Amino acid sequence: MKRLKAHQGELLLVLLHPDIPLHTNGSENDIRDYVKWRKISGGTRSSLGRRCRDTFASLKKTCRKLGISFWEYLNDRIRQTGTISPLPNIIRERAANPALP
C-alpha cells in the first residue's frame, strides 16, 4: 500500500488521458501477420526481398487501419487513376479531424 501511495500520481495519470491504451496489443498486432508469414515461409532470401515484404506489409496494415481496401489502393497506384488520395494525406486529414471515418 505504501508503494501504491508513493506512486499514486503516476498510476492515476491514465485517468487524464483515457484515449491512450493501457496495453501494447496494437503494436503486437501490427507485427503478427509478419511473424506468421515468417514461420511458414522461413523468411526472405535477400535484403531486397525483406524490404519489399516490409513495405507491402506496412502498406497493408496502414490501409486496414484507415479502412481502405489494400487491393483497391494498389490498383489505384498501378493504374495511376488517382481516385484514392496518398496515404500521408489521408492520415493528416484524419488526425486533423478525428470525426472522419
pLDDT score of 20 more than 80: no
- Residue 48's identity, in one-letter code, is L
pLDDT classification of 23: cutoffs 50, 70, 90:
low
Residue 26 belongs to some domain of the structure:
no
Residue 18 belongs to some domain of the structure:
no
Burial pattern 29-61, b for ≥16 Cβ within 10 A else e, equals ebeeeeeeeeeeeeeeeeeeeeeebeeeeebeb
Q: Rounded to whole angstroms, how far apart are CA atoms 54 and 56?
A: 6
- Total domains in the fold of the chain: 1
| Whole-Å CA distances, 52 to 33, 56, 62, 64, 75 | 15, 6, 15, 18, 17
Question: What is the average per-residue pLDDT within 22-42?
Answer: 71
Residue 50 belongs to some domain of the structure:
yes
pTM of this prediction?
0.59
Residue 25 belongs to some domain of the structure:
no
Residue 59 near residue 73 (C-beta atoms within 8 A): yes
Domain limits for position 56: 33-101
Per-residue model confidence as pLDDT tens digits over 35-88: 777 777 777 788 898 888 888 888 998 999 899 999 999 999 999 998 999 999
What are the backbone dihedrals phi and psi of residue 37, each rounded to the nearest 5 degrees, phi first? -60, -45
pLDDT score of 100 more than 70: no
The predicted structure's pLDDT at residue 73: 95
Nine-digit cell at 29?
A: 498486432
Residue 54 belongs to some domain of the structure:
yes
